[in-house]
Every structure is written in C-alpha cells, then in structure tokens.
Amino acid sequence: YITILNIGLLGIAFNKKWNILNNLGFIATYLLYLTTFKYTEFALSTVFVNIFFLIYSIVPLAYYIFKSKKENISNSMLIFINSFVALAINYRLIEGNDYPIEYLSIVTVLYTLNFALMANYLYKKGRGDEPSFVFTIGKAALFLSITIPIIFSGSAITVFWAAETVVLAWISDRLKNKSILYGAYAILIISVSKFFLYDYSETFNVTENFYISGGYTYQLVPRLFSSAFLIASYYQFLNLYRKSTFKNNLTFSIFGLGWIASLFTVLNVEVASFFHDYLINLKFVSISVLWAVFAVTLMYFGLKRNMKVIRQISIALFGLTLAKVFFFDIAEMSASYKFISFIILGLVLIFAFEVADLLCAI
C-alpha cells in the first residue's frame, strides 16, 4: 500500500515541483517501514527498501528531468539522505542475516547503475551542462567509489580510485564540466593519501625508516604495480588538466608538486629498502645518489620548460644532498665507501652542470 502511494507521488513529481510533499512522503515512508522492520524477513525487507530508494532517487529530479528545467536542484539533499538511509538498511539486513559483507556491493553497483542511467538519459537529451546531469553522474561516481572497498581490499582500492580519477578528469574535459573535475580532485587526494598513509604501513609493512619489515621482496609485485599505477594515473590526470579549459596555474602547480613529492617518496622507499636488505653498507650513499639524480632531473625539466619553482626545488635538493653526504653519510661509511660516494656524487654534479649549460645555450 505504501509503495502504491509513493508511485502516485512519483507521478505528481513529474508535473509539479512540490518539495514539501516529497519530503513528507519520504519521512512517512521510512518511518512506517522502520516500525515494521524485521531483518529476519530478508527478501521482503530488501525488495521494499530498494523500491523506496528507487522512487526517492527519481522524485526530487523528476520535475527537472522531464520538464527540461535548467534551474538549480533545490531538493538534492533528499537524494543524499535517501541513498544513505537505504544503504544503511541494506547493510543491517545483510549483517543481521550473517551474509558476507560483499553482498552489499550488489546494492551499491545497482545504485551506481541507477544514477549512471539517469545521467546517460540527460546526456543523450543534450543536457550534459545542467545541474541535474552533474548531480546524477556525481552520485554514480560516489557509489562506484563505495563499491570498490567492499569488493576489494588493500592497495587494489587505491588502484581503482586512481583509475576513477583519470576517468572523471577525462569526462570533465569531454563535457566541459568543471563540477566533475572537482570530484576528480577529491578522489585523487583520497587515493594518494590512502596509499602513503595506510597502504605503505598496513599492507606493505613499510617502516618509519623507509624499509620493509618483511624484506624487500615482501609483496613485491603488488607494491610495485600499485606504486607505478598510482604515479602513472596521477601523471595522466596532470596531462588532462594541463590541456583542460578549466586549468588554473596555481592549482596545476600544487598538484604538480604533489606528483613530484609522490614520485620522490616511492623511489626513496624502494631504493632504501633494497639496499637495506642486500647492500646495507651502501644504503646511505644510494639515497644520496638518488637525491642527486632526482635533483638533476628536476633541473633539466625546470630549464627545459622554464619553470622557476622546479629549478628552485632542484637547487634546494642539491643543497640537502650535499649536507646529507658531509654530515651524515661520511660518519656511517668506511674509507673505501667514502671514496666511492664522493666519486659518484662528483660525477652527478658534473653531469648536472653540463645539462644546465647545454640547456642555457639552447
């Protein structure tokens, strides 16, 4: 009976923008549902909660979609609340019946498809620049992001989120829609933060001293793949953003510096961990060489692309490398390793000077 009443309300929503009626219908529907809720009646409860979700994911948008209205969506909060109330009830039903939590991914995938189909309908109607389109594709991306950690675990989540970042940036560029680009910003920040703050310590056992407690070969392939995929996806995002009509120089610089820091961190972890396990006497000098080579590379691109900030970072890193060699590395090495260290560092500096001189001449 409640479902029939809500179908009637849905019919009204196609023709009238009555937000109060929509809100009252939503509140009354879920209150009545929850008063009779029994998680033991899994099939019946699941069917009806998802019917209510479907109705109230369409009701607030129906007037804008079918009346071709371009004004702002004034009742979008109802869709947010509806989505998460329905998701919470589905979770309680699955948990209460001792089903695997992965079953919830079926629900989130269906929710993703629901909003993706609505977005596709709007796009085919030539309404890809309207708030209703941005809202629906944003909800689809949100539920896709929720689905990934339910199905997968560890660094696989980071990989999928990184891929989603590139896809959203590409969609934003194709549709010339800035709001979608903001979603790409958020997912990129989350995926990079998760990788360095969670995956490194919890999944790959990277310690505070930048070596892997389980040994360098511990989860070697997943670690290298995740690191490379994240860095490559981040770089592709920067490429798309650089060509975007929404490019902002300050934002591009911030994300660019973030990419440099991410690459630098990954290389430090891999080099430090490798030499810690296999050539521990060269651990400190290997890091110094890495820093020097990285500084040379930054100087090369800074000169080639006339990027002052990159050149300044390169010089600062050179200075830091020299300080590290003189004040830390020498104290930890024997005479022979000191000799090797200075030769390598000298060669790197000579190479850096030659590169800089060549680029200045060009």
**Residue 74's pLDDT band (cuts 50, 70, 90):** low
Lowest mean pLDDT among 8-17, 39-48, 324-333: 324-333
pLDDT at 230: 95
Instruction: Please state the length of the chain.
Output: 362
Q: What CA–CA distance (Å, rounded) separates 5 from 97?
A: 29
Greater confidence, 229 or 346?
229
Using the Cα atoms of residue 235, residue 240, residue 243 and residue 245 in order, give the sign of their dihedral: negative
Task: Report DSSP letters for 243-302, one per residue.
Answer: HSTT--HHHHHHHHHHHHHHHHHHHHHHHHHHHHHH-GGGHHHHHHHHHHHHHHHHHHHH
Q: What CA–CA distance (Å, rounded) separates 55 from 210?
A: 52
Q: Which helix (H) or strand (E) holds 239?
A: helix 220-243
Q: What CA–CA distance (Å, rounded) separates 267 from 290?
A: 8
**pTM score, whole prediction:** 0.77
pLDDT in tens, 123-134: 887 777 777 787
- Statement: residue 190 has pLDDT above 90: yes
Give the closest residue to 106 by CA, choosing from 155, 159, 151, 136: 151
Lowest mean pLDDT among 93-97, 238-242, 259-263, 335-339: 335-339
- The alpha carbon of residue 241 and the mean position of all alpha carbons in its chain are separated, in whole angstroms, by 15
Phi, psi values for residue 212, rounded to 5°:
-95, 120
**Residue 18's pLDDT band (cuts 50, 70, 90):** confident
- Statement: residue 27 has pLDDT above 80: yes
**What is each CA distance from 60 to 64, 80, 129, in whole angstroms?**
8, 11, 19
Highest mean pLDDT among 58-67, 210-219, 301-310: 210-219
Q: What CA–CA distance (Å, rounded) separates 341 from 330?
A: 9
Pair 348, 296: CB distance under 8 Å: yes
**Residue 57's pLDDT band (cuts 50, 70, 90):** confident
Residues 6+ apart with CB under 8 A from 8: none
Lowest mean pLDDT among 89-103, 197-211, 328-342: 328-342
Instruction: Kindly state the greatest CA–CA separation across the chain.
Output: 87
Highest mean pLDDT among 10-24, 80-94, 224-238: 224-238
Using the Cα atoms of residue 303, residue 306, residue 308 and residue 309 in order, give the sign of their dihedral: negative
Token look-up 């896809």 returns 167
Q: What CA–CA distance (Å, rounded) separates 53 from 61?
A: 13
Pair 39, 97: CB distance under 8 Å: yes
- Statement: residue 266 has pLDDT above 90: yes
**What is each CA distance from 329 to 282, 286, 333, 337, in whole angstroms?**
10, 10, 6, 10
Mean pLDDT of 268-272: 92
**What is each CA distance from 259 to 78, 126, 182, 254, in whole angstroms?**
37, 36, 18, 9
Greater confidence, 119 or 224?
224
Greater confidence, 340 or 105?
105
Highest mean pLDDT among 21-30, 90-99, 228-237: 228-237
Lowest mean pLDDT among 56-70, 179-193, 195-209: 56-70
- Statement: residue 205 has pLDDT above 80: yes
**Residue 39's pLDDT band (cuts 50, 70, 90):** confident
- At residue 95's C-alpha, the angle toward residues 141 and 100, to 5°, is 75
pLDDT at 361: 57
Q: What CA–CA distance (Å, rounded) separates 124 from 57?
A: 20
**Residue 56's pLDDT band (cuts 50, 70, 90):** confident
Pair 68, 14: CB distance under 8 Å: no
pLDDT at 226: 94
Greater confidence, 194 or 362?
194
- Alpha-helical (H) ranges within 152-201 are 155-175, 178-194
Task: Report DSSP letters for 112-156, one per residue.
Answer: HHHHHHHHHHHHHTT-TTSHHHHHHHHHHHHHHHHHHHHH--THH
Report, in angstroms and rounded to the nearest whole number, the Rg of the chain calculated over CA atoms: 27
pLDDT at 227: 95
Number of other CB atoms surrounding residue 31 within 10 Å: 9
**Residue 318's pLDDT band (cuts 50, 70, 90):** confident
